Amino acid sequence: MTEITIGILASFGAIFVLLAAVGLIRMPDTYLRISVTTKAATLGIGLLLVAAAVFFGDMSITTKVLAIILFILLTAPVSAHLIGRASYFSDVKLWKGSVLDDLEGKYDKFSHKLKSDDEKAPEKKTDNIEED
């Protein structure tokens, strides 16, 4: 039964890592690539580490595996956010199919600080409803 559990965990982990690699190639822009690799690779590595912990069955190895998983879960989203933020401020363009840029006009280009409410660009009207 343990071998089946290890096989299932390792297989799903390898599939998620493979999906992260394919997503890295297939996604059209930097921001989507960051999203794919952060989510899929983190889950895949976590499953592979759990399979290793089950395989060895030693408490010291299980503790190390859990520490590594916790470290990955804490650092992967933060690093992805910082890479995305640096990309945005370096003027890496969004994919042409992107519908909305939530940060447009909200940050000062030079200081990278959030603009105050009186400095923000006026909101663009997106609906076609006529007001009476």
Q: Which residues of 25-56 are buried (b: 16+ CB within 10 A; e: fewer)?
A: eebeebbbbbebbbbbbbbbbbbbbbbbbbee
- Residue in this structure with the two tokens 């890592």, named with its chain if needed: 17
Phi and psi at 13, nearest 5°, equal -60, -45
For the entire predicted model, the pTM comes to 0.76
Which parts of the chain register pLDDT below 50?
A: 125, 128, 130-132
What is the model's pLDDT at position 117?
Answer: 58
| Contacts with 80 (C-beta within 8 Å, 6 or more apart), sequence order | 34, 35, 37, 38
Determine the 3-state secondary structure of 30 from DSSP.
Answer: helix
Q: What is the pLDDT of residues 65-99, one digit of tens each?
A: 999 999 999 999 999 999 988 888 888 888 888 88
Our CA angle for 34, 79, 6, nearest 5°, is 75
Say if CB 115 and CB 106 are below 8 A apart: yes
Is 61 exposed, middle or buried, given 0-12, 13-18 or 19+ CB atoms closer than 10 A? Answer: middle
